[in-house]
Amino acid sequence: MQSSRSSPRLARLLAEVSRAEEWARSASRELADYLRSGSNELLLTYSYMGYPAASILYWLLFTLRPDLRTALMDADTASYYAVAYRSDLTIVAFTTKPDSAATIRITDSSRLTGARVMVVSPQPSEKTRLYMRDALLKTVPAADSEITASLWEALLAYYTGLSMAQEGRRGERLRAIANQGFSVIVEELVEKYMDLTIKALGAREIVITSGKLLEPASAALAKALKSRGVNASYSPISLLEPVGNEYVLIVSCSVEDHLISEKKILIAMSGGRTLELRLNLDPLEAPIYVLILALYLEEGLSEP
């Protein structure tokens, strides 16, 4: 891997993040208006790499808009077990595979029960759009890869959540970061974790683990490493059982340091080797940084 400062890969990453930010800032107004016009019962669903966006919006609203009743679940669970039992739901379904059965199921079940639903996804086929019927569609203009679409959707979720946040010191600080933009830190982020990414790419097999809040973005990181030929998998840190001489990449925020120290001891006792992606950030913004690194690692952004 070339030095990040001269890498065409970095230039493409920077351009992608800049385009995604510009679109997300504009599109967030429409999504926020949709959420404000609905009921106080919000259901955020996801399929495939729509998981990071749904999770980001959930945690922002759960933390900064406690007056809203917000739930998070995958689209199929919502279709079978949730939508039928709520008469006044406002639903947002994030997906990176618009033509999947999960997308059609959540729109069908919502239509049958009278729930409002907006699908956020890359452009679906004409046939799928017919199946969606009355569902609103917010098209994500990013189709290069699922991780690319995932980052665009995650930024949309981030700006939307902040625009709906109640007044307070934490929300103000996060808005200041959002106004500055994430593209300005791309080069610094890549430089800081360059050694880590080289080690991860050099591993034949690696388990990625994290707490719940960083789970969706960490799963995207595993997907990116797979695209580069690494046998990567994800395991929640609460279920982590290190086995033998394997690499374990821990993705965490500094607030989790005590928990991570315990897990590092467990990994060492099992004979494993620890890599650590530790972010000294507000946990509500950390998933965006992990997604940017995932996109940097993905094969689709490789140098020609």
Mind listing the pLDDT tens digit for each residue in 119-174? 999 999 899 888 888 889 999 997 779 999 999 999 999 999 999 988 888 888 88
**pLDDT tens by residue, 174-198:** 888 888 889 999 999 999 999 998 9
Collapsing DSSP states into helix, strand and coil, what is residue 279?
A: strand
Q: What is the pLDDT of residues 33-46, one digit of tens each?
A: 999 998 888 999 99
CB < 8 Å & 24+ apart, contacts of 77-81: 78/43, 78/45, 78/106, 78/109, 79/105, 79/106, 79/108, 79/109, 80/109
Residue 301 has pLDDT above 70, yes or no: no
Return the closest-CA partner of residue 48 out of 118, 93, 95.
Answer: 95
Residue with tokens 């939307």: 160
**241 and 172, same structural domain?**
no
Tens-digit pLDDT profile for residues 280-290: 989 999 999 99
pLDDT value of position 134 = 82
pLDDT band at 109 (very low <50, low <70, confident <90, very high): confident
Query: What is the dihedral angle through the alpha carbons of 136, 138, 144, 149, rounded to the nearest 10 degrees?
Result: -100
CATH number at residue 29: 3.40.50.10490
- Is residue 139 domain-shared with residue 227, that is, in the same domain? no
Give the chain's domain count.
2
Instruction: Name the average pLDDT for the chain.
Output: 90
Residues 156 and 52 in one domain: yes
Residues 6+ apart with CB under 8 A from 277: 193, 196, 249, 250, 251, 252, 290, 293
The pLDDT of residue 101 is: 93
Task: Kindly state the average pLDDT of the residues 242-246.
Answer: 79
Based on the domain organization, do 208 and 61 belong to the same domain?
no
Domain enclosing residue 236, as ranges: 193-301
Residue 272 lies in a domain: yes
Q: Are residues 241 and 122 in the same domain?
A: no
In a domain, 187, yes or no: no
| Whether residue 82 has pLDDT greater than 60 | yes
DSSP labels for 123-165?
PPPHHHHHHHTT-EEEE-S--S-HHHHHHHHHHHHHHHHHHTP
Check whether residue 35 and residue 12 sit in a common domain: yes
Same domain for 284 and 157: no
Last residue of a domain, one of 145, 180, 215: 180
| Co-location of 152 and 206 in the same domain | no
Answer whether residue 186 is part of any domain.
no
Is 115 part of any domain? yes
Find the mean pLDDT for residues 54-77: 94
Q: How far apart are CA 239 and CA 237, in angstroms?
A: 5
Same domain as 244, residue 169: no
Residue 66 and residue 199 in one domain: no
**49 in a structural domain:** yes
- What pTM was estimated for this model as a whole? 0.93
* Residues 112 and 230 grouped into a single domain: no
Rounded average pLDDT over 57-62: 96
Residue 185 lies in a domain: no
Neighbours of 108 (CB within 10 A): 17
154, 180, 206 - which closes a domain: 180
Per residue, the 3-state secondary structure of 186-250, as one string, reads HHHHHHHCHHHHHHHHHCCEEEEEECCCCHHHHHHHHHHHHHCCCEEEEEEHHHCCCCCCCEEEE
Which of 119, 154, 180 terminates a domain? The answer is 180
Share of the chain above pLDDT 70, in %: 96
Classify residue 188: in a domain, yes or no. Answer: no
Confidence of residue 76 (pLDDT cuts 50, 70, 90): very high
Q: Which of 10-19, 104-113, 253-262, 266-275 has the highest mean predicted lDDT (pLDDT)?
A: 10-19
- Whether residue 35 is found in the same domain as residue 107: yes
| 1 has pLDDT over 60 | no
CA Rg value for the chain: 19
Query: Count of residues for the chain?
Result: 304
